[in-house]
Amino acid sequence: MRWIARTVSLIALGLCSLIVNAQVDIPLSVNISLPGLQRLSDTDPTITIEPLSADASLAERWQATLGQNPSGAPVIRVESVQDAPALPVEFRLTVEWPRGRMQQDYRLSQNGSSLQAEPLSLLRFGPTDARMNLYRLADLLRPESISINQMMLRLLADNPNAFAIEHVNALEVNRYLQVPAVGSSGYISVERADEIVAQQLGEWDSLAVELEESIPLIAEVQADVERRDRIRQQLAEDNQRLGQRISALQKEVLALTQANREPVAMPGAVAPAEQPPEPNQTLDNWRAWAIVIAGLTVILLWWRRQRRPAQNNDAVLAEANEKVRNGQLDAAQEVLDIALGEAPERIDWRLRLLEILADREDAIGFESEAYVLHAQLDNKSDPRWHEVARRGRKLLPGHALFADD
């Protein structure tokens, strides 16, 4: 089959120029001019085309290579490798090199005796990486009539989601940039572009100086956070040990009370009728409780000797409540943990801590603090204990400490 010679020159949506040639016994070819090809010609880019539809034979019928137009300018040449390839054809053209990639979709179709080629999308560049900066990209992608600063500001305006902030130095990684069409309007003047870029670079330098000056403060804050974490861990361990000691003392009290209430029966002796407790038995019960109270007092005094003087009462609760209002329950717990380490006798602080532990569903921490509070109040009829027990039954169902007497 011999084709009729024809040449059609098209401007593809103002984005690139395409020259479609079909001559006798010469394959159909399309020359596509993209921004930056002149600068990429030395990098030996990889050029591929892939179908936009389920056309597996596209690669067998078309190929793309880097070539030159009649004036010597670099172009992407898409050629047919079969006689009379089927039309229309829709494909994605990709130009890739070590530092980036450009992509654009095209459609080739026949209109009467001529062929038409048009882009189906705008040109995209990406993905960006940490080695790229907007200056180099603007220099690569800009038309010859547009300055680097003009192109930088245009890319910034057209791609707001690719920048962390509205600044030429804030390009993010793994982003695709939409490249404006060749010949399009929307560029600000050279003078205004130079002024805006200079202003942004000056602001960036000031931010860099402030950041450098704040590095020691950041290190200090980080060290303080680590110190607080260590204190918090130590307090949690101390609370656990204290809870274990209190639990052991309570078991001893229960054993002593039971021993005083149940007299030992001698062999062969007749069990006496049940009588009200003698005064000395009541006295023994109080002695048992006195042992517990004395033990708790010793433990609390030992605890307090390990800590510094207590903070201001109102300041501790105010700080903890402020952090709770801000949703920082862990920080509020830390404030109260440290304060109780300095003044473990403060019941109001411990009550607030128990509320926070219940809200965080920290069953282990709640149990440990509840044992301490139970020993401090020494009265299950205390309304404050009723509220703690209610929370305890919800958090630790069936726990003996929170049983409803």
CA nearest 351: which of 383, 328, 327? 383
Arithmetic mean of pLDDT over the chain: 76
Residue 156 · residue 171 · CB < 8 Å: no
Which CATH number, 1.10.287, 1.10.3470, 3.30.2010, 1.25.40, labels domain 225-261+278-402?
A: 1.25.40
* Numbered ranges of CATH 1.25.40 in the chain: 225-261+278-402
Q: Distances from the Cα of 203 to the Cαs of 17, 70, 82, 210, 391, in angstroms?
A: 40, 47, 58, 11, 54
> Against a cut of 0.85, is the pTM above it?
no
Residue 34 · residue 16 · CB < 8 Å: yes
The segment with the largest mean pLDDT, out of 188-197, 226-235, 292-301, is 188-197
Task: Indicate the pLDDT class of residue 28, thresholds 50, 70 and 90.
Answer: confident
C-alpha–C-alpha distance, residues 351 and 148, integer Å: 65
6-121 adopts what CATH topology?
Answer: Immunoglobulin-like (2.60.40)
The pLDDT tens digits of the residues spanning 131-143 come to 888 998 898 888 8
CA nearest 81: which of 96, 64, 67? 64
Residue 6 is classified by DSSP as E
Chain Cα centroid distance, residue 396: 33
| pLDDT for position 229 | 79
Task: Indicate the pLDDT class of residue 26, thresholds 50, 70 and 90.
Answer: low
The pLDDT tens digits of the residues spanning 262-290 come to 554 544 545 555 555 555 555 455 555 65
| pLDDT for position 15 | 41
Nearest-5° Cα angle at 20, 18 to 23? 160
The pLDDT tens digits of the residues spanning 182-194 come to 677 789 999 999 9
Listed in sequence order, the DSSP H helices in 85-189 are: 134-141, 148-158
Is 19 a residue whose pLDDT tops 50? no
* Numbered ranges of CATH 2.60.40 in the chain: 6-121
Torsions phi, psi for 88 (to 5 deg): -75, 165
